[in-house]
Amino acid sequence: MSHDDFAVEPIEGLPERPPEGEQILWQGRPNTLALAREALNLNWIIGYFAILAAWRFISVVDLLPIGQAIGATLPVAILGLVVCGLLYAIALIQARATMYTITTSRIAMRIGAALTLTINLPYRELGNAALDLRKNGTGTIALDTTGQTKISYLVLWPHARPWRFGSTQPALRCIPDAENVARILADAAEARITTPQVTRVAPGGAVAAE
């Protein structure tokens, strides 16, 4: 379930106050550098321009004095710095526009730099959660939703599990202290799913879940 979020948020990351009884357990946003590396392939871009600059230097160093050879290489290096700076800026904007929220009932994802959306994922609509943990403690938690929840990969990007186009999986991307967050999520989901549903008997004997 999703909707455009243009109103002032009563609580950062949520379009409205949680219902009575629902508690916020954790809130956070992606680590900017980790997002740039994993979602925007910053490391690959750095490597590409490093190789390009080295090739340029090697190709002219036998033809020009060392100073001129370095000068001939500088435009490539400067272009690489500009491209990497733009990628980092995009990651920074995306991270600042994002707020992930874990509550006792659901996961809420406030995403989108240009068009802000809030996506609510109740625990009963989730299958499994997979943690991709990095050495620095950041990680991505991918969420396997049931058939009832269909979300476009393009709408979610970069907050989706990479290369899963057919069955898009929302993801809490590049979050700090990801292992602890995954534990909070697992405990909350287990508690919610094992809690009996309250039902009421409607007139005529029909039973409806609360």
pLDDT, tens digit (0-9, with 9 covering 90-100), for 143-155: 988 766 677 888 8
Q: Is the pLDDT of residue 62 over 90?
A: no
Q: What pLDDT, on the 0 to 100 scale, is given for residue 16?
A: 87
Q: Are 208 and 168 in contact (CB under 8 A)?
A: no
Q: What pLDDT, on the 0 to 100 scale, is given for residue 6?
A: 42
Q: What pLDDT, on the 0 to 100 scale, is given for residue 208?
A: 43
Q: Which CATH architecture has domain 2-30+99-194?
A: Roll (2.30)
CA angle, residues 188, 170, 108, in degrees to nearest 5: 50
Q: What pLDDT, on the 0 to 100 scale, is given for residue 195?
A: 62
- The C-alpha atoms of residue 125 and residue 86 are separated, in whole angstroms, by 37
C-alpha 98: how far from chain center: 8
pLDDT band with cut points at 50, 70 and 90 for residue 126? confident
- The C-alpha atoms of residue 153 and residue 168 are separated, in whole angstroms, by 6
Both structure tokens of 25? 């357990």
Instruction: Give me the residue label for tokens 């292992």.
Output: 179
Is the four-CA dihedral 65, 68, 72, 75 of positive or negative sign? Answer: positive
- The C-alpha atoms of residue 37 and residue 174 are separated, in whole angstroms, by 9
- Which residues lie closer than 8 Å to 3 by C-beta, 6 or more apart? 15, 117, 118
pLDDT band with cut points at 50, 70 and 90 for residue 27? very high
- The C-alpha atoms of residue 146 and residue 169 are separated, in whole angstroms, by 10
Instruction: Give the predicted TM-score (pTM) of the model.
Output: 0.82
Q: What pLDDT, on the 0 to 100 scale, is given for residue 35?
A: 97
Ranges of CATH 2.30.29.30 domains, the chain: 2-30+99-194
pLDDT band with cut points at 50, 70 and 90 for residue 69? confident
What is the average per-residue pLDDT within 17-30?
93
Q: Is the pLDDT of residue 91 over 70?
A: yes
CB atoms within 10 A of CB 181: 20
